[in-house]
Each structure stands twice: as structure tokens, then as C-alpha cells.
């Protein structure tokens, strides 16, 4: 599914926190990949195909580069304040990743991982995820929006 590219706002000073999600200047792909069919590869391909002009940061501890772009080994290697992170990783790694993204002051996280809504264990995992995002963020986490299996956490004032 293509990702629409939206123009960045003229200034971030008066912008609402949701603007970082809807009009990002920088995107992080946690779980970036070059394997055909992998979610991390599809996200990167969609950004390229749709002409995203902002910074794209790739996280993959096993790769030095993907498609000519440098890969960072860990979220801790990111610059502070990226606008959006897309998590294309297994559920087991999501909680620690959200905490690490909050520490880097990333504005929003879109999580593509199953197991956060299915059954009572999924509901508990979802509650823990929301709590961790709220506690770890320097600003409080805003509502978690659900779209099928994706979770979106937006931090703001």
C-alpha cells in the first residue's frame, strides 16, 4: 500500500504533536530489510516510490547498508527528535523498542506486529505497551490509534 507524502509544515514551534505523524520530516524504519515481501522492505520501497523528501533512518543490527543507505545498529544510534518510527519487528522486541524511541524523543511510533489485541494475553500486552510508552516518553503519550494490526502512538504535550 503506497504511503502518501505530505509537505512538512513551515515551522514546528506551533505545530500539534499529530503533525509529526501526518507531516513527518524524518522517518525511522526499525526492522529495515531488503528482502522482497518483508514489511521493512515494503515501507522503504513505498517511501522511495512516493518521493518522500525527508530523512530516512534504517535500523537493522545485522546490516551495514540497504539499497545504498546506511543502517544503524540500534535505536540508541538515532539522532534525537525523529518524527515517526515504523516498527516492522516481532512482538517480543516492540516494548524495548518503544522505550528506546521515547528516549530518543521520537514523535510517533507505528507498530506493525500481531499479538497486541488477540485474546486476554494480547490485551495485557497492549496495556503494558501503552504504559511503557507513557512512562518512557518525556512528554505523555497520546491516544493509541488502532488500524487492523497496526498501533500508532503519538507523544505530545
pTM, two decimals, is 0.74
Contacts by 43-46, CB closer than 8 A, 24 or more apart? 43/3, 43/86, 43/88, 44/69, 46/1, 46/2, 46/3
In angstroms, the CA 115 to CA 118 distance is: 6
Please report which confidence band the pLDDT of residue 138 belongs to, taking 50, 70 and 90 as the band edges: very low
Record the cell numbers describing residue 146, joined without a space: 488502532
In angstroms, the CA 93 to CA 157 distance is: 26
Counts for the chain of helices (H) and strands (E), in that order: 4, 8
Task: Kindly report, residue by residue over 28-65, the tens digit of the pLDDT.
Answer: 999 999 999 999 999 999 999 999 999 999 999 999 99
pLDDT at 5 over 50: no
Q: Which residues pair with 128 in a beta bridge?
A: none
Task: Kindly report, residue by residue over 110-129, the tens digit of the pLDDT.
Answer: 888 766 555 555 555 555 55
Give me the pLDDT at residue 147, please: 41
Record the cell numbers describing residue 49, joined without a space: 516510490
Give me the pLDDT at residue 152, please: 57
Q: Specify the higher pLDDT residue, 103 or 33.
A: 33
- Going along the chain from its start, the domains and CATH numbers come out as 17-155 (3.40.50.720)
The stretches of 15-118 forming alpha helices (DSSP H) are 17-22, 39-49, 91-103
In angstroms, the CA 60 to CA 58 distance is: 7
Give me the pLDDT at residue 154, please: 54
Lowest-pLDDT range, 67-76, 97-106, 128-137?
A: 128-137
Amino acid at each position: 500500500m503506497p504511503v502518501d507524502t505530505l509537505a512538512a509544515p513551515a515551522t514546528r514551534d506551533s505545530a500539534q504533536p499529530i503533525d509529526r505523524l501526518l507531516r513527518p520530516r524524518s522517518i525511522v524504519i526499525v526492522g529495515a530489510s531488503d528482502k522482497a515481501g518483508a514489511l521493512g522492505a515494503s515501507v522503504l520501497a513505498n517511501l522511495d516510490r512516493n518521493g518522500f523528501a525527508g530523512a530516512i533512518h534504517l535500523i537493522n543490527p545485522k546490516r551495514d547498508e540497504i539499497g545504498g543507505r546506511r543502517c544503524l545498529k540500534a535505536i540508541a544510534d538515532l539522532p534525537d527528535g525523529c518524527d515517526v518510527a515504523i516498527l516492522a519487528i516481532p512482538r517480543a522486541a516492540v516494548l524495548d523498542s518503544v522505550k528506546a524511541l521515547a528516549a530518543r524523543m521520537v514523535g510517533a511510533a507505528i507498530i506493525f506486529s500481531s499479538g497486541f489485541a488477540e485474546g486476554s494475553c494480547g490485551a495485557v500486552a497492549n496495556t503494558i505497551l501503552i504504559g511503557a510508552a507513557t512512562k518512557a516518553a518525556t512528554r505523555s503519550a497520546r491516544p493509541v490509534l488502532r488500524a487492523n494490526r497496526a498501533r500508532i502512538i503519538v507523544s505530545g504535550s
